[in-house]
Structure 1
Amino acid sequence: MNKHNSSKALILVIGLLIVLAATFFTNTKNLNKLDFFGLEVPVVPLKVGTNLWLGYEPLYLARSLGYFENEPIRLVEYTSATQAIRAYRNNTIQATTLTLDEVLLLLEVGLDPRVILVVDISNGGDVIMAKPEIKSLSELKGRRVGVENTALGAFFLTRALEAVGLSNSDIIIVDSEIDEHESMFLKDEIDAVVTFEPIRSRMLTQGAHVIFDSSKIPGEIVDVLVVSNDTLLRYPEKVETLLQGWFKTLDYIKTQPKEAAIKMAPRLKVSTEAVLSSYKDMIWPDLEENLRLMAGLEAPLLKTATQLASKMLQTHLLQREVVLTDFIEPSVLKNIRGAVSTASLE
């Protein structure tokens, strides 16, 4: 083959590779597997971890409603927040829902989580429940209190006890994973427990009652969605589709609250009425409210994180100060709003 023909052959090969690459990446959006010359090539899904909590349930509702547009997004449910955090740290999942205090702990150990969404703000959904004979928080002194071994459990319990002049040393702390709360209460292994929905609704039917809830510390229990910066760079379309599906689901819940409750109740293992009643116990910020909370140098979420970090240092939940620059990433939200604005003009 002469030099001229070699050059033509090389150009043809390069052209073919470009076409194949374009076909490959164009088709990854809506398929979990690609047919690549008769070979099935798996598409890497975006794995999103959660534990069971009504505030996270719109993710699963979005999936059932088909709002992820066939994008390869896989929801992975763990029995506790501790397991979800471990999976995120081990790169088993690329994104996870966490409370803001748990994000601060990830920053403390040198990880680089980026908050891309305020999922919900607890307004009564997180609670301390007790036996009928325990009428108030002050009566917890000397009692056995079940609490999950997480930053949220420790923080929430500490804030509650502060309200009545008690500390952790005044009670008997019993380690209790979220999936053990009901059984330990029924077996008389604990007198009270730090828990949240849907466990709250179940335990109300078993004789427990609420003696403290998160509405008493407004704005302090915030759930967020985090991803690594690497995930943002590698899977921008998947991340945007995830958030678009989230906000579309919030609209569905707002316009069809009963239908949404009917769909969510079986997974939560509570009644439809319990789900409807629980709506008031949390705030799901919409797109505009998310941008207000997260964007700018004076972002309210940054202020909340700064105050929270200070309280966690005082109570030794954090061992050192954490750097809070750049961990809030509103760019995905801005892209979504830009797309919505463009579509409305067309």
Structure 2
Amino acid sequence: MKTIKILTLTLALFSSTNALAKDKFSICWSIYVGWMPWEYGDSSGIIKKWADKYNIEIDVVQINDYIESINQYTAGQFDACSMTNMDALTIPAASFVDSTALIVGDFSNGNDGVILKDKKTLSEIKGQQINLVELSVSHYLLARGLESIGLSERDVDVVNTSDADLVAAYSTQDVTSVVTWNPLLSEIEKQPSAHKVFDSSNIPGEIIDLMVVNTETLNANPNFGKALVGAWYEIMSTMSNDVVLTHMAKASGTDLAGYKSQLASTKMFYQAKDAVSFTKDPQLSKTMKYVAEFSFKHGLLGDGAPDAGFIGIETPTGVFGNPANIKLRFDPSFMQMAADGKL
């Protein structure tokens, strides 16, 4: 009887995996300095080249609304999507969609910042009104900044503001501080009253930009992961070419100088081995603990979440949270294949 049960379970698992096997995939991305390579990879034919190598098709779709792109991925309309580590936890993982960080592309190293109007130190933020996209990585950055000087969100007034309105809002008399990301950050910094008092370079490695893939889809179709990773690192090998960077700049709405400026405050992992090392570092698990605690405090892990560890987050150095409820996985194995020249 026991043998029959095991055989039945094995067949069920095989059938489930087989049902997910396919040869056509779709990924989505939104405009950000670290994700423009996906647009170039699509328009240059590099992604098609790698898809052809593995006898699959990959449709690459730009979605202008970043959060909407993640929502569509979470709803199953895309197999993979570009997003930050925090959003990967609070949207798909919190919605019980098991997801894998296939590619760790970069981390923000100054691309996100806190700006005060006519004030020059972070300590002067106490009591101020802070305009930002609430519950975004900007909100997380603010919380980490306040924590660094012994303050908390109770010491400021957070005002939810659309990213599309932040530049205009800063120019009004009532707005005394904003927290945002590039290219909006650079636009606001041009104002003579603007002083950047804290940015993501003060918390290096905490705001991470990823290509996230549905875990079941990846497990059933490893060639999909191989094609994406192979294409990504071929694109990375072109990033010293100004013609390529000019293409990315234009596609993102800036010029070469503007795009290079954004790259300067982005820690890109151009080499697969560097992304693997970052992912295998024990610090990643500590970072995700910070992110989970912030997310739980703000109710982003779901109504039924009893604590910050409700969702299990798997990294190469262990699991933070509930090992029986792992919904976000940092798996460097495909990047390791790229590093080893095995794709």
Following TM superposition, by how much is the alpha carbon of 1:188 offset from its aligned partner in structure 2, in angstroms?
4.6
Give the letter aligned to residue 335 of structure 2. Answer: L
The 1:161/1:304 distance shift into structure 2, 3 A limit, reads closer
Measured on the aligned residues, the alpha-carbon RMSD in Å equals 2.8
Determine the structure 1 residue equivalent to 2:332. 330
The 1:173/1:262 distance shift into structure 2, 3 A limit, reads same
Identity %: 24
Q: Is the 8 A contact 1:148 1:177 kept in 2?
A: yes
Listed one character per residue, the Cα deviations across residues 114-141 of structure 1 (whole Å, up to 9, x for unaligned) are 111111111111111233x132222333
Listed one character per residue, the Cα deviations across residues 226-272 of structure 1 (whole Å, up to 9, x for unaligned) are 1112221454334322222211122211x32x333322222232332
Q: CA–CA distance in 2 between the matches of 1:189 and 1:109? A: 37
Determine the structure 2 residue equivalent to 1:149. 134
Q: Is the 8 A contact 1:147 1:153 kept in 2?
A: yes
Q: Is the 8 A contact 1:198 1:269 kept in 2?
A: no
Of 56, 59, 69, 1:84 maps to 69
Determine the structure 2 residue equivalent to 1:125. 111
Of 234, 237, 262, 1:251 maps to 237
Of 60, 80, 86, 2:39 maps to 60
The 4+ residue runs of structure 1 with deviation greater than 4 A are 310-319
Q: CA–CA distance in 2 between the matches of 1:91 and 1:52? A: 21
Q: CA–CA distance in 1 between the matches of 2:200 and 2:65? A: 19
Q: CA–CA distance in 1 between the matches of 2:174 and 2:80? A: 35
3-state DSSP of counterpart to 1:69: helix
Following TM superposition, by how much is the alpha carbon of 1:313 offset from its aligned partner in structure 2, in angstroms?
4.8
Q: CA–CA distance in 2 between the matches of 1:203 and 1:116? A: 34
Following TM superposition, by how much is the alpha carbon of 1:183 offset from its aligned partner in structure 2, in angstroms?
2.5
Determine the structure 2 residue equivalent to 1:302. 285
Give the letter aligned to residue 85 of structure 2. Answer: L
Q: CA–CA distance in 2 between the matches of 1:306 and 1:164? A: 20
Determine the structure 2 residue equivalent to 1:12. none
Q: CA–CA distance in 1 between the matches of 2:169 and 2:63? A: 20
Of 217, 220, 236, 2:203 maps to 217
The 1:90/1:259 distance shift into structure 2, 3 A limit, reads same
Following TM superposition, by how much is the alpha carbon of 1:214 offset from its aligned partner in structure 2, in angstroms?
0.7
Give the letter aligned to residue 27 of structure 2. Answer: K
Q: Is the 8 A contact 2:81 2:211 kept in 1?
A: yes
The 1:317/1:341 distance shift into structure 2, 3 A limit, reads closer
Following TM superposition, by how much is the alpha carbon of 1:86 offset from its aligned partner in structure 2, in angstroms?
1.5
3-state DSSP of counterpart to 2:59: strand
The 1:137/1:81 distance shift into structure 2, 3 A limit, reads farther
3-state DSSP of counterpart to 1:270: coil
Q: TM-score, normalized by length of structure 1? A: 0.74
The 1:165/1:301 distance shift into structure 2, 3 A limit, reads closer
The 1:151/1:61 distance shift into structure 2, 3 A limit, reads same
Q: CA–CA distance in 2 between the matches of 1:245 and 1:107? A: 26
Determine the structure 2 residue equivalent to 1:266. 250
The count of residues paired between Structure 1 and Structure 2 equals 294
Give the letter aligned to residue 246 of structure 1. Answer: W
3-state DSSP of counterpart to 1:91: coil
Q: CA–CA distance in 1 between the matches of 2:48 and 2:140? A: 38
3-state DSSP of counterpart to 1:239: helix
Q: Which runs of 5+ in 1 are unaligned?
A: 1-24, 29-43
Give the letter aligned to residue 245 of structure 2. Answer: A
Listed one character per residue, the Cα deviations across residues 198-233 of structure 1 (whole Å, up to 9, x for unaligned) are 222222334444221111112211122211122214
Q: TM-score, normalized by length of structure 2? A: 0.75
1:46 has 2:26 as partner:
yes
Q: CA–CA distance in 2 between the matches of 1:309 and 1:77? A: 28
Determine the structure 1 residue equivalent to 2:259. 275
Q: Is the 8 A contact 1:201 1:270 kept in 2?
A: no
The 1:165/1:299 distance shift into structure 2, 3 A limit, reads closer
1:69 has 2:48 as partner:
yes
Q: CA–CA distance in 2 between the matches of 1:202 and 1:270? A: 12
Q: CA–CA distance in 2 between the matches of 1:226 and 1:128? A: 27
Q: Is the 8 A contact 2:25 2:79 kept in 1?
A: no
Q: CA–CA distance in 2 between the matches of 1:177 and 1:78? A: 17
3-state DSSP of counterpart to 2:213: strand
Q: Which runs of 5+ in 2 are unaligned?
A: 1-21, 52-56, 315-325
